[in-house]
Structure 1
Amino acid sequence: MTKKEKPNGLTRRELLATAGAATAAMTMGIRPAFATDTLKVGFISPRTGPLAGFGETDGYVLEVVRKALANGIDIAGKTYAVEILDQDTQSDPSRAGQLAKDLINNQAIDLMLVVSTPETINPVADACEAAGVPCLSTVMPWEAWYFGRGAKPGEPSPFKWTYHFGFGVGEFHKTYVSQWKLIETNRKVGVMYPNDADGNAIRANLAPLLQKDGFTIVDPGAYETGTTDFSSQIALFKQEGVEIINTFPIPPDFATFWRQAAQQGLHRQVKIVQVAKTGLFPSGVEALGNLGIKLGSAAYWHKAFPYKSSVAGVSGTELADGYEAASGKQWTQQLGATLSLFDAGFDALKKTPDPKSKEAVAKSLSTLNTVTIAGKVDFTSGPVPNVSPGPIIGTQWVKAAEGAKFPLDYVVTENATDPNVPVGATLLSYNG
């Protein structure tokens, strides 16, 4: 070895030249080849405010995902560190849009993930579409996402950057017909559809399908979120003799409506109370006391789903048990739904030749065909571009067995939209 050589085989001059080039690269914002690039993923959900039930389990899911990705991910032979930047909308649509713009403009995220309800998802998706940032979302009817943001039936998709997976009106229709056939009724359905993106999409698309199947729809008209007096709707339902109630309210509105329905005697007349967007989580149902027992619901995820998380490697039961052990609270269907968003999002990143290219990530989303803890996600065969439909499973809240850890049990009563999910119980009449 000469005086000028180093043990690594480089001369002192070569070593200094290499160091200088690396310093220059860092100054220009270019990471040298031996450094690990970081993928920044935004995650927006409602963790406080009226929609807080949807975000209650998100902290735990984020812990699971961050632990699974602590050593980064390998993409196209390169290791990337992962930084997940999570934000709480406080259930405010305006704040949701502002948070999205901050993550896009000030944090330079590579991918946006957003979950739960049009009030959260649509403002975020719109911000991403305008800025040219790939965005993936779940947990709202896809029609309210697609048509609610300006797409027109029969016309090409106006969206290049935003993608959504999960249930739609077709799945609700299939599930409700399957569920409602389990109990004999007069097939009169009193509907409570709010004047919002969900309610308007459901009224326009679901109600006509149910009518074609022989159900009589009794619709008192759209109501405004935050309504405090539902006496006129209740009077109409009593007068028409409805035996099925179907509603898509936010949780506080359903609690108000159903307590007033009980005070005015409607609850004694109905045999099925099928609730969506609320009645999804045990805390909200428990708050209704005995009025919550035997409420019909629907699950976009249940711990009985027979799939594993591709990110975390856990089964549904393992995810639910882990949450209960960590929090002391009962598992909710949002656990698997939120985790499925990370499953699908990171699978799209892994299948991208260059995950730092927003165009490449968007293209990967458009061709994504994978299986998450909540089931299949396939953007190659959707009913419209940018959408992959997903299951919604008929469920019911029943009184838990004596000695159970929690007062209510959440059981699967039908599986028309995903026969792989095992049915675990028989639907009970609300007044049975």
Structure 2
Amino acid sequence: MAASKDNTHSPRSASRRSVLGAAGATGLALMMPKLAKAQAAGTLKIGFVSPRTGPLGSFGEGDGYVLDLARKSLAGGLVVGGKKYAVEILDRDTQSDPARATQLAKALINTDKIDLMLTTSTPEVVNPVSDACEAAGVPCLATVMPWEAWYFGRGAKPGEPSPFKWTYLFSFGVSNFVKSYLSQWAAVPNNKKLATLLPNDADGNAIRAAMLHELRKAGYTVIDGGPYETGTTDFSAQIAKFKEANCEMLMSFPIPPDFATFWRQAAQQGLARKMKIVQVAKTGLFASTIEVLGPLGYNISVAAYWHKNFPYKSTLTGVTGVQLADGYEKGTGKQWNQQLGATLSLLDAGFAALTASADPSNKAAVAKALGSLRTLTMMGQIDFTKGPVPNVSPTAMIGAQWVKAPAGSKFKYEYIITENSSDPSVPVSHKPIPYA
């Protein structure tokens, strides 16, 4: 199968090829009888857009590995309706720039003539790519951003019909955060005074509009630090406000560099040691963004959209979560991260929709298949027939925490599951630990 990649990829090693070969062998063996009988058709071109470098680069650090797994499984083609299609995945790096995301999407649509767009990781990537696809009439499937920031942030209105015909998202929403957070917070004694650090961006504004009210209803006193601009270097005003209110809890949604700046200043100014709970989204998702904090990263809580112990397999490659994580660590030397499962889930769902369309070269048929898609991925069940709004399928968020790794571990941190209220099938391994 042909493959087009950005120059952000590094050459594969022999050991990595052996890992990928083993992962794809079972799936290919099952596919071979169908491939042999299928009539040869054309080539399907799939666009894949994510942030591989820049401030959001931690989201995409495992994408190359996952895409290689997918390409290996699709090397013999994709059979749909008795026809065998070659598959070419064209992956692009937005460099964490929304304007570049738009440019890349338009180039994939207009120059490469893709049949389906897949995109992931934060509004800065997903929204501009989705908008380009909607304008051009190209089916697009996305994941990993609050669905409210995707749906309402792109112009949809509550209670009105969806304005979107071509674009779809499966991802978590505010209610998933609230459920997971409240479950975690109830397990750690605190004074219920919550500091919130929310940026002036799609994520921060969606959370401020939809979530803070729910937390107040649950009995928490919310101290909003106010919307700040990405790239802020001095958080003294917010820290002073939180200290004056005697906050023992923090909820934040900054990009990784901003949180690192804020939390170091919070430690220097005496706020960090007062905290019983430090709940971080967007930043605390990956070991690479926690490790830069040193000891300040221990016991930070997060809500995870995937963990290697999720009890689901990839429908595309056949690998389990543990196999995916172990293969990544062996092939790259880096610690596994939760975006591995999300990226593979995006590929699982995308190719499930192509198969369900009966004619994957027909863009309208693929969009229709996305609108009625019900399939199981590594993140769990996806069902676009239920809502909560058209074009959206919500996914679970489970509670997790970064703790000091046991003696002898090759990594500094261990990522543990602390609650599973959104998906009881996910095993809980530890009770939440107070931050300080």
TM-score surpassing 0.5? yes
Q: Given the alignment of the two structures, is residue 418 of structure 1 paired with residue 423 of structure 2, yes or no?
A: yes
* Partner SS for 1:71: coil
Please point out which of 394, 399, 405 is paired with 2:404. Answer: 399
Please point out which of 343, 347, 362 is paired with 1:342. Answer: 347
**Corresponding residue pairs, total:** 399
Q: Given the alignment of the two structures, is residue 358 of structure 1 paired with residue 359 of structure 2, yes or no?
A: no
Structural mapping, 1:272-291, within 5 Å: 272-291=277-296
Q: Deviations over 1:373-431 (max 9, x none)?
A: 11111100010000000011110000011001211100000011111100011110011
Query: Which residue type is aligned with residue 188 of structure 1?
Result: K
Please point out which of 112, 129, 139 is paired with 2:144. Answer: 139
2:325 equivalent in structure 1: 320
Query: Which residue type is aligned with residue 169 of structure 1?
Result: V
Please state how far the C-alpha of 1:178 moved relative to its aligned partner: 0.5
2:249 equivalent in structure 1: 244
2:168 equivalent in structure 1: 163
Unaligned runs of 5+ in 2: 1-37
1:195 equivalent in structure 2: 200
Taking only the aligned residue pairs, the percentage that are identical comes to 66
Q: 1:106 and 1:208 mapped to 2: Cα distance?
A: 46
**Highest Rg: 1 or 2?**
1
Please state how far the C-alpha of 1:58 moved relative to its aligned partner: 0.2
Please state how far the C-alpha of 1:36 moved relative to its aligned partner: 3.0
Please state how far the C-alpha of 1:298 moved relative to its aligned partner: 1.4
Q: Given the alignment of the two structures, is residue 78 of structure 1 paired with residue 83 of structure 2, yes or no?
A: yes
Q: 2:284 and 2:382 mapped to 1: Cα distance?
A: 25
* Partner SS for 1:410: strand
Q: 1:259 and 1:90 mapped to 2: Cα distance?
A: 26
* Partner SS for 1:184: coil
Please state how far the C-alpha of 1:265 moved relative to its aligned partner: 0.4
TM-score by length of structure 2 reads: 0.91
Please state how far the C-alpha of 1:220 moved relative to its aligned partner: 2.0
Q: Given the alignment of the two structures, is residue 130 of structure 1 paired with residue 141 of structure 2, yes or no?
A: no
Q: Given the alignment of the two structures, is residue 214 of structure 1 paired with residue 219 of structure 2, yes or no?
A: yes
Q: 1:382 and 1:216 mapped to 2: Cα distance?
A: 31
Q: Deviations over 1:69-121 (max 9, x none)?
A: 00011101111111000000000000000000000000010000000000000
Query: Which residue type is aligned with residue 321 of structure 2?
Result: G
Q: 1:283 and 1:364 mapped to 2: Cα distance?
A: 37
1:89 equivalent in structure 2: 94
1:228 equivalent in structure 2: 233
Q: 1:283 and 1:95 mapped to 2: Cα distance?
A: 24
* Partner SS for 1:218: strand
Greater mean deviation of Cα atoms: 278-287 or 258-267? 278-287
Contact kept? 2:39, 2:83, Cα under 8 Å: no
Please state how far the C-alpha of 1:182 moved relative to its aligned partner: 0.7
Q: Deviations over 1:169-221 (max 9, x none)?
A: 01001011111001011111100010000000000001001111101110021
Q: 1:216 and 1:233 mapped to 2: Cα distance?
A: 16
Q: 1:35 and 1:188 mapped to 2: Cα distance?
A: 63
Q: 1:34 and 1:270 mapped to 2: Cα distance?
A: 63
Q: 1:236 and 1:71 mapped to 2: Cα distance?
A: 59
* Partner SS for 2:315: coil
Q: 2:230 and 2:123 mapped to 1: Cα distance?
A: 14
4+ residue segments displaced more than 4 Å: none
Query: Which residue type is aligned with residue 412 of structure 2?
Result: P
Please point out which of 49, 66, 71 is paired with 2:71. Answer: 66
Q: 1:180 and 1:289 mapped to 2: Cα distance?
A: 24
Contact kept? 2:309, 2:322, Cα under 8 Å: yes
1:302 equivalent in structure 2: 307
Unaligned runs of 5+ in 1: 1-32
2:316 equivalent in structure 1: 311
* Partner SS for 2:419: coil
Q: Given the alignment of the two structures, is residue 120 of structure 1 paired with residue 157 of structure 2, yes or no?
A: no
Q: 1:234 and 1:414 mapped to 2: Cα distance?
A: 29
Q: 2:41 and 2:140 mapped to 1: Cα distance?
A: 24
Q: 1:404 and 1:380 mapped to 2: Cα distance?
A: 44
Please state how far the C-alpha of 1:268 moved relative to its aligned partner: 1.0
Contact kept? 2:299, 2:434, Cα under 8 Å: yes
Please state how far the C-alpha of 1:37 moved relative to its aligned partner: 1.1
Q: Given the alignment of the two structures, is residue 390 of structure 1 paired with residue 431 of structure 2, yes or no?
A: no
Contact kept? 2:249, 2:277, Cα under 8 Å: yes
Q: Deviations over 1:336-363 (max 9, x none)?
A: 0000000000000011111111000000
Q: 2:77 and 2:211 mapped to 1: Cα distance?
A: 43
* Partner SS for 2:211: helix
- After superposition, the CA RMSD in angstroms is 0.8
Q: 2:248 and 2:161 mapped to 1: Cα distance?
A: 41
